[in-house]
Amino acid sequence: MSICKKMPNSNPNQGDGNKPIPAHYQSRFLREMFSVSMTETESGIVARVRFDTRHEGPPGHAHGGSIATVLDETMGTLAFIHGHKVLAARLEVKYRKPVPLNEPLLAVCTITSRNRRKITAHAELKRASGLVLVESSGLFIDIEGRFDTLANEISRA
């Protein structure tokens, strides 16, 4: 169950939401390393993703770390567009089926709960047919004003 603001004319199963998410809301790493475009839907985010040979693990299939990265970034982006500057505290990934290279896939993400600074999210990586290949859930912590000064804090540590 998503607790995101409802938007009309969106279908997360088909990725035809009506509000593309600007690139500046996505991490530079995600934009540079993956072929991903995100759209806000009535229930969360749908990301269109295609893994290629840069992301290969087993022959012809995406590496689990690449898959986890896309799902982590999708859930984090969803929290961010809802005003939460978050860091991941926990990420769980369930690999159900091998993820093929060079096939258009959908990552469907929703926020499942908010409790003060804790945001939990759920994501599924699906084939166009709707077959779920990977499921993920994450706990994200809103670090509020510290987000923008994080680089300085790390360099002083």
Q: For the chain, what percent of residues have pLDDT higher than 70? A: 75
Phi, psi of 150 (to 5 degrees): -60, -40
118-127 pLDDT, tens digit per residue, is 999 999 999 9
Q: Which residue has the tokens 């709960």?
A: 113
Burial class from Cβ neighbours inside 10 Å (0-12, 13-18, 19+) for residue 107 reads buried
Burial class from Cβ neighbours inside 10 Å (0-12, 13-18, 19+) for residue 70 reads buried
32-46 pLDDT, tens digit per residue, is 777 788 889 888 999
> What CA–CA distances, in Å, run from 152 to 81, 96, 117, 141, 156?
24, 40, 22, 19, 6
Task: Supply the pTM of this predicted model.
Answer: 0.79
Q: Given this model, what pLDDT does residue 17 score?
A: 46
Q: What is the mean pLDDT of the chain?
A: 82
For the chain, give every domain's residue range. Answer: 19-156
Q: Given this model, what pLDDT does residue 153 score?
A: 61
Of the CATH numbers 2.60.40.1180, 3.30.420.10, 2.30.33.40, 3.10.129.10, which one belongs to the domain with range 19-156?
3.10.129.10
Amino acid at 49: V
